[in-house]
Chains A and B, each alone.
Chain A
Amino acid sequence: MNKTKLALALSALGLALAAPAQADPLKIALVETLSGPQASTGLMYRAAVKYQLANLNEAGGWNGEPIQIAEYDNQGGPAGASDKVKAAIAEGARVIIQGSSSAVSGQITEDVRKYNLRNPGKEVLFLNMGGEALELTGDKCHFYHFRFTTNAPIRVKTLVIAMKEAGDLGTKVYSMNQNYSWGNDMDKSIKAFAKQGGYTVVESTLHDVNKIQDFSPYVSKIKASGAETVLTGNWSNDLLLLMKATRAAGLKVRFGTVFLDQVGNLANAGDTAVGHYIAHAFNIQAGDEAAKFGEDYKAKTGHYPTFIEPQTVFGMRMLGEALKQTKPEDGKINITEVARNLEKVKITTPMGEQHMRAEDHQVVLPIVVSKVTKDAKYKVDGTDMGFDIVKRFTGEEAVNPVEATCKMKRPA
């Protein structure tokens, strides 16, 4: 009984304290993998989101109040994410941010879509910073989902064009990918761009995700296929172990990768990495603006922006622009307006112009293809290697056509 009374008293007190506030501050929820084996990536998303959010709040936040952010640990899985999304919405979050793992993004985007259907007028926005699976802007696309990163066709297209022009692609390509939505997308794209790239896919492998310790059997497969280049969407250990095993077998083959700039990769791969390619959203050597951004990021977070951080910062900048265009209605935010404005936002990042494609909410993001060299100005991971720019693509050049399966219902 006493407990109930206490709870009542406390909640009354809470109401009394909350009531005088004029406007509701905008609440953002970061639903990321903050513990467990994949936490390293989740923590990078957090660093990037917080970095840019601090900038937004310095510039006045929204409606005269600083934007609030709450962190939720999804523990790396869709089930955990689904719970945390519910909790976040219950606690008043109107914008949900997530990045690591397409599987989790897929869960959140569905949850958000359903919630918005059932709660008109209280919509929630999902900003996808890193889920690259094609279906998220394909048959799962909806009006309140925005993707601020690339997808497999974008990465493969830019890699293939740049490597071909540099004469490093060869005519025999091995497609090595992980057996889940992202790896399947990569595999399909690598086969789809064969004609444009003038190569044949001599062999393709889909293997278990982050379960394999010994990649030497795969390396003998690569050797047997006679491939000159391995195109792979592998990340984390699957990329590292693959490169290490290739080196150990003394096999001379070039890698075209997507996630080579993950922290620790170059240091661990050693000299093996020299000459390998990567298609990514940011290279600090892309001019004065890029260097300035890089230094500022380092000053605030302790390291240069890399891997998934730049795209996340740029995505948060777009959110900031959209919020600027959105006026409060009775001190409250209209999320549908934010989404509409987000479609119109154009920003200029250190890499070039970036905007959101209204048809499927895929960001049109400039891409740079880089090569690992020892001459690079900015060294990575305390090694003598870094990423030198090979070719730059504007967002329009890089982006893939809208998926035919995306049937977006726009609010009236």
Chain B
Amino acid sequence: MEFFTVSLLNGTIYGLLLFMVSAGLTLIFGMMGVLNFAHTSFYMVGAYLAYSLQEVVGFWPAIIISPLIVGVLGAVVERYMLRRVHQYGHGHQLLLTFGLSFIIAEVIKLFYGNYPVDYRIPESLRFSAFDVFGANYPFYRLLIGGTSLLMFALIYLLLTKTRVGIVVRSAIYRPRMVEALGHNVPMVFMGVFAVGAALAGLAGAVAGAFYTTNPNMAIELGVLVFVVVVVGGLGSLEGAMVASLLIGLISSFSVGIDYSLADLFGLMGAREWAEGVGGLLTLKLSSLAATIPFLLMLLVLLFRPSGLMGTRE
């Protein structure tokens, strides 16, 4: 029971963090068809900016200002870079963002050095929310989860219940028609890209303090975020939420499961043979924990290429 509760809590919060980062990515892809490789770079920039700002203006203002700056950065990237290569198609956009991610990483190293910076949770937030089976459950984890849920609700309402949402959604399907109706479609796209980047920046600002803020954080999360978006379905916000939670829970639960293929053979009375063979057969599930999401992606791509809740292939 203890294992179950703790894993459930940990997995959910980690899943919610993944959602925070991948929400922007799936939004940008869904709206603009741009597969943004530099997305987790915005996450990293958000963390570093918050780290620098909190020394000047304090933790809370930094958490709010940093995503705004990242949003502006996103707008600049869209307006002056992506829009120029848009006419050449997806390949060029992909390469551009890919290159951009390297440049951002190197610039960060130039300013902040190669090592993790000292970005930590402020002491005032370092308390436990409640106890689970004798261990403290940090309040900050709940804060991460709460921020993520709030974000989901806001984006969802914005897209489905407001006029802006209607314009944005129709701009995806019938850009020319929307333009003819007098809306500035390029402006809409720039806005979407900026919001997507800002969301990643917010995730970075919040999570950078809890995990570490280092020049590799973009790469570390980068692949996983793509897995989330693919599993959830490219462009689907709800899908990203489901996939994030799924991957969070899977990685959390699999850590505690020490079964191997040998145990499976044990059920059939062939345990000794399997243990004798060793290798893959005695490999514990727990040592594969971080690899399982990729297995999930493989399965999804094989059996449901559009993703769990996606509509396009």
Contacts and interface: CB of A to CB of B under 8 A. Distances in A.
A382 B118 CA distance: 10
B259 interface: no
A181 to B, nearest CB: 14
A95 to B, nearest CB: 26
Interface stretch (B3-11, B272-280, B302-310): B3-11
B216 A208 contact: no
B115 A217 contact: no
Contact of A37 (B7, B11, B216): B216
Contact of B220 (A237, A244, A263, A382): A237
A250 B134 CA distance: 10
A39 B114 contact: yes
B220 A213 contact: yes
A205 interface: yes
A214 B251 contact: yes
A218 to B, nearest CB: 6
A267 interface: yes
Interface string A210-232: 11111011111101100000000
B121 to A, nearest CB: 8
A221 B256 contact: yes
A237 B216 contact: yes
Interface string A315-342: 0000000000000000000000000000
A237 B136 contact: no
B211 A208 contact: no
A224 B253 CA distance: 14
B153 interface: no
A268 B209 CA distance: 9
Contact of B219 (A37, A251, A263, A381): A37
Interface of B is mostly: helix
Contact of B115 (A206, A207, A263): A263
Given A213-B14, A268-B116, A220 B291 contact: no
B212 A212 contact: no
A43 interface: yes
Contact of B10 (A205, A206, A217, A268): A217
B141 interface: yes
Interface residues of A, number: 39
B251 A268 contact: no
Given A248-B141, A270-B120, A224 B287 contact: no
Nearest to A222: B135
Given A237-B214, A264-B116, A268-B120, A224 B220 contact: no
A240 B287 contact: no
B261 interface: no
Nearest to A44: B114
A98 B273 CA distance: 42
Q: Which residue, A217, A218, A219, A381, has most C-beta atoms of chain B within 10 A?
A: A217
Contacts of B60: none
B51 to A, nearest CB: 11
B117 A264 contact: yes
Contacts of A268: 116-120, 212
B52 interface: no
Contact of A217 (B140, B215, B256): B256
Q: Which residue, B214, B253, B291, has most C-beta atoms of chain A within 10 A?
A: B214
A251 B211 CA distance: 17
A349 interface: no
Nearest to B121: A248
Contacts of B6: 217, 220
A208 B255 CA distance: 11
Q: Which residue, A43, A244, A268, has most C-beta atoms of chain B within 10 A?
A: A268
A96 B116 CA distance: 30
B118 A213 contact: no
Contacts of B252: 214, 216-217
A179 B283 CA distance: 11
B210 interface: yes
B286 interface: yes
A381 B141 CA distance: 27
A205 B286 contact: yes
B167 interface: no
B211 A211 contact: no
Contact of B287 (A205, A381, A382): A205
11 contacts: A37-B216, A205-B286, A208-B287, A212-B290, A214-B211, A220-B135, A221-B255, A248-B138, A250-B128, A268-B116, A268-B120
Interface of B: 2-3, 6-7, 10-11, 14, 17, 114-120, 128, 134-138, 140-141, 210-212, 214-216, 219-221, 224, 248, 251-253, 255-256, 284, 286-291
Given A207-B290, A208-B287, A216-B141, 8 more contacts: A37-B219, A40-B115, A212-B289, A217-B256, A237-B216, A249-B138, A250-B128, A264-B116
